[in-house]
Chains A and B, each alone.
Chain A
Amino acid sequence: MVIAMQDLQQISTVTALSIRSLPQRLGSSTIIVVSIAGVVAVLIGVLTLADSLLRTIGGATQPDRAIVLIKGARAEGGSNLQRTEVSTIQAAPGIGKNAAGHAIASPEVIAVVAVREKKDNARAEVVVRGVTALAFDLRPEIKVIAGRLPQTGLHELLVGQAAANQYKSLDLGNQVTMRGVKWTVVGLFAAEGNLRESELFADAETLMSAYQRTTFQSVAIKLATADSFTTLKDALTTDPSLSVDVVTETQYYSQQYEFLGKILQTIAYIVGGIMAVGAMSGAINCMYSAISARGIEIATLRAIGFSAFSVVASVLAEALLLALIGAAIGAAIAWLLLSGNSFSTQVGMGPVVSQLQVAPSLIVVGVAWACTIGFLGGLVPALRAARIPVATALREI
Chain B
Amino acid sequence: MTYAIQMKNIVKTYTRGKQKVEVLHNLNLEVEKGEFISLMGPSGSGKTTLLNLIAGLDNPTGGELIVAGERIDKLSGGQLAKWRARNIGFVFQFYNLLPVLTAERNVEVPLLLTSLSAAQRKQNVAAALQLVGLADRAKHKPNELSGGQQQRVSIARALVADPTLLVCDEPTGDLDRENAEEILRLLQMLNRNHGKTIVMVTHDPRAADHATRQVHMDKGSLVDSNARSAA
Answer yes or no: are A and B bound together in one complex.
yes
User: Is A270 part of the contact surface with B, judged by Cβ < 8 Å?
Assistant: no
Interface string of B19-59 (1 = CB under 8 A from A): 00000000000000000000000000000100010010110
Does B100 lie within 8 Å of A304, measured CB to CB? no
Stretch of B1-9, B107-115, B181-189 that contacts chain A: B107-115
**A305: B residues at CB distance < 8 A:** 81-86, 88, 110, 113
Residues of A within 8 A of B135 (CB): none
Are B96 and A397 closer than 8 Å at their CB atoms? yes
- Of chain A, the residue at the smallest CB distance from B112 is A13
Give Cα A77 to B60, complex, Å: 84
Q: Please, which residues of chain B bring their CB within 8 A of the CB of A308?
A: 77-78, 81
Roughly how many angstroms separate A395 CA and B169 CA in the complex, as a whole number? 11
Minimum CB distance partner of B101 in chain A: A17
CB < 8 Å neighbour of B94 from A6, A13, A389, A397 = A397
In the complex, which of the residues A2, A9, A20, A303 contacts B84, with contact meaning CB atoms closer than 8 Å?
Answer: A303
Which residues of the partner chain B approach A296 to less than 8 Å between Cβ atoms? 94, 96
Contact across chains for B113 and A306 when beta carbons are under 8 A apart: yes
Contact A391 B92 (CB under 8 A): no
By the criterion CB–CB under 8 Å, are B99 and A304 in contact? no
Within 8 A of A (CB), among B66-121: 77-78, 81-86, 88, 90, 92, 94, 96, 98-101, 109-110, 112-113, 115
Query: Does A10 sit within 8 A of B, measured CB to CB?
Result: yes
Residues of B within 8 A of A13 (CB): 109, 112
Q: Is the CB of B100 within 8 A of A17?
A: yes
Please give me the residue from chain B that is nearest to A21 by CB atom. Answer: B100
Task: Say yes or no: A391 contacts B90, CB within 8 Å.
Answer: no
Assembly CA distance A6 to B116 (angstroms) = 10
Instruction: Indicate with 1 or 0, residue by residue over A297-313, a CB within 8 angstroms of chain B CB atoms.
Output: 10111111111100000
| A394 CB within 8 Å of chain B | yes
CB distance from B30 to the nearest CB of A (A): 23
Q: CA–CA, A307 to B84, complex, Å?
A: 11
Is A235 interfacial (CB-CB < 8 Å)? no
Q: Count the B residues whose beta carbon is within 8 Å of the partner chain — how many?
A: 28
By beta carbon, the residue of chain B nearest A390 is B57
> In the complex, A303→B77 CA distance in Å?
11
Query: Could you give, for residues 1-44 of chain A, a 1 whenever the CB lies within 8 Å of some chain B CB and a 0 otherwise?
Result: 01000100110010001001100100000000000000000000
For window 127-160 of B, CB contacts with A under 8 Å fall at 157
How distant is the Cα of A103 from the Cα of B131 in the complex, in angstroms? 97
Q: Give B97's nearest chain A residue, CB to CB.
A: A300
Q: Output the least CB separation between A81 and chain B (Å).
A: 77
Picked from B52, B55, B100, the residue with its CB within 8 Å of the CB of A20 is B100
Asked if residues A304 and B94 are in contact (CB atoms below 8 Å), the reply is: no
Are B115 and A2 in contact, with the CB atoms below 8 A?
Answer: yes
Would A391 and B58 count as touching, CB distance under 8 A? Answer: yes
Contact of A391 among B57, B88, B99, B157 (CB under 8 A): B57
With A300-B96, A302-B81, A308-B77 as known contacts, state yes or no: A389 contacts B109, CB within 8 Å.
no
Do B98 and A297 touch (CB < 8 A)?
Answer: yes
B85 x A304 contact (CB < 8 A) = yes
Cα A6 to Cα B157 in complex, Å, equals 19
Is A391's CB under 8 angstroms from B100's CB?
Answer: no
Chain A residues contacting B109 (CB-CB under 8 Å) are 13, 301, 304
In Å, the complex CA distance between A310 and B47 comes to: 30
State the CA gap A6–B86 with chains docked (Å): 14
Contact partners of A17 in chain B: CB under 8 A: 98, 100-101
- Could you say which residues of chain A place their CB within 8 Å of the CB of B48? 395
By a CB distance below 8 angstroms, the chain A residues around B94 are 296, 397
Complex interface bits, A100-133 against B, C-beta within 8 A gives 1, otherwise 0: 0000000000000000000000000000000000
Known: A304-B110, A306-B113, A307-B81. 8 other contacts (CB 8 A): A17-B98, A21-B100, A300-B92, A300-B96, A301-B109, A303-B90, A391-B57, A394-B57
Cross-chain pairs A/B with CB under 8 angstroms, 10 sampled: A6-B113, A20-B100, A296-B94, A296-B96, A300-B90, A301-B109, A306-B85, A307-B81, A390-B57, A394-B57
- The 9 lowest CB-CB distance pairs between A and B, nearest first, are A305-B85, A300-B96, A391-B57, A391-B52, A20-B100, A391-B58, A305-B84, A390-B57, A13-B112
